[in-house]
Amino acid sequence: MARSRRASLVGIAAVAALLAGGVAAFAVVSGDDDEAGARSAAQRYLRILSDDGRDPDDLTELVAVGDPEALDRADTLLAQARERISDVSLGESREISTAETSSDVVFDRFERVEVRYRLAGERHRSAITLGLPRTGTDGGWLVVTPLSGEVDWNAASWGTAQLDVEVGDVAVTEPGRTTYEPDAQLVHPGVYPVRASVGPYLTSPATDLVVATGSTPLPTFDLAPTADGTAAITEQVLAAFEPCTRGTAYCPATTLVDDDPLPEGWWHGFTTEPTVTVEGTTITLRDGAFRYASAAGERTVRFDGTGRMVVDPATGEPGVAVPLELERR
């Protein structure tokens, strides 16, 4: 009886060992399948990011973030990118216990996958995190920490004026804002053509902005006046001479005629209005001429000059800082 009981115990132990082995083997196979599923989802996600023939809106089904509108904005901008990531490959992947995610989806597992890619002639290495939604919910692996950077478009300014910024044909700032409020936006990696302006008066040529991961500062914008801006500045320059009609106070031309005693009504106006150009904030006046009355009779003064452009932060309208600096030609 003792031997029979011992044999039974051995048999039970063997069955238990086999069952345990079966469970262990299943767990390994299941883990491999899950990892393969995560990597497959990562590859689908990266193919859309890298292929400029793919619609960025397709990313919506593969990414879970807390602010869907932020993803929609990033997708819209990606369609404007001059260059997308290329030469993409996956590195090692590993399961992690937790992940920072803003999504409302409840996840059972997380997988972190290394990503290598080329952008703007340089190699980059980063990682994305994917989550497997809780058992019983629809869908497979989703990207919860995307391959993305951040850009604070509202940080664009020129002196005291806030800049209106466009990426391609898409406006990314609120037109006419007068104060700075930080607003870092999610942006997919790529090379983006960025242009800035101040109302209809100043604009810059498009400048390439390379966005990889992390926070990306804005480039320095080389602003120049538009035709409307040059017209507005020229009007302001000519208006700076209006005090001359009332006397010598605040009249920029008095420095050119201070050797003569000036009678009342000495200013006889321009014979040639100066040509006005602007580079940066420097205003240049060329080939101007005016007449004035002196004790010896009417005289003509030809002049050049310089001034400084300012921008009204409330309206974006350019103006002229007084006084103008004039010199005889």
pLDDT per residue over 79-128, tens digit each? 999 999 999 999 999 999 988 877 778 898 999 999 999 999 999 999 99
Residue 93: closest CA among 171, 31, 160: 31
pLDDT of residue 34: 73
Q: Which residue has the higher pLDDT, 179 or 248?
A: 248
The end-to-end CA distance of the chain, in Å, is 128
φ and ψ at residue 80, rounded to 5 degrees? -95, -10
Q: Helix (H, G, I), strand (E, B), or coil: what is residue 123?
A: strand
Query: Strand locations in 239-317, DSSP E?
Result: 267-272, 275-279, 282-294, 297-311
pLDDT of residue 314: 84
Q: Helix (H, G, I), strand (E, B), or coil: what is residue 70?
A: helix
Report the distance separating Cα 227 and Cα 232, nearest Å.
Answer: 9
The contacts of residue 320 (CB under 8 Å, 6+ apart) are 233, 236, 237, 239, 240, 283, 307, 308, 309, 310
pLDDT of residue 6: 34
What is the torsional sign of CA 177, 188, 224, 231?
A: negative
What average pLDDT score do residues 4-8 get? 36
Residue 63: closest CA among 136, 147, 127: 147
pLDDT of residue 137: 59
pLDDT tops 90 at residue 27: no
What average pLDDT score do residues 285-291 get? 98
Query: How many beta carbons lie within 10 A of that of residue 324, not counting itself?
Result: 20
The tokens for 103 are: 């999504």
pLDDT of residue 2: 40
- 32 — pLDDT class (breaks 50, 70, 90): low
Q: Helix (H, G, I), strand (E, B), or coil: what is residue 309?
A: strand
Q: If you average pLDDT over every residue of the chain, what do you get?
A: 87
pLDDT of residue 134: 86
Residue 71: closest CA among 186, 170, 172: 186
pLDDT of residue 307: 97
Report the distance separating Cα 199 and Cα 156, nearest Å.
Answer: 14
CA dihedral 205, 208, 211, 216 (to 10 degrees): -50
φ and ψ at residue 74, rounded to 5 degrees? -65, -40
pLDDT tops 90 at residue 167: yes
Residue 144: closest CA among 86, 67, 205, 88: 67
pLDDT of residue 29: 34
| Confidence (pTM) | 0.81
pLDDT of residue 150: 96
What average pLDDT score do residues 216-245 get? 95
pLDDT of residue 18: 31
φ and ψ at residue 25, rounded to 5 degrees? -65, -40
pLDDT tops 70 at residue 10: no
What's the full length of the chain, in residues? 329
Beta bridge partners of 4: none
pLDDT of residue 138: 60
Query: How are beta strands 149-152 and 214-215 bridged, if at all?
Result: parallel
Can you say whether residue 39 is alpha, beta or left, with left for phi > 0 and alpha for psi between -120 and 50 degrees?
A: alpha
The contacts of residue 250 (CB under 8 Å, 6+ apart) are 243, 322, 323
- Please state which of the ranges 51-60, 76-85, 224-233 shows the lowest mean pLDDT: 51-60
For 12-59, the three-class secondary structure string (H helix, E strand, C coil) is: HHHHHHHHHHHHHHHHHHHHHHHHHHHHHHHHHHHHHHHCCCCCHHHH
pLDDT of residue 136: 56
Q: Helix (H, G, I), strand (E, B), or coil: what is residue 7?
A: helix
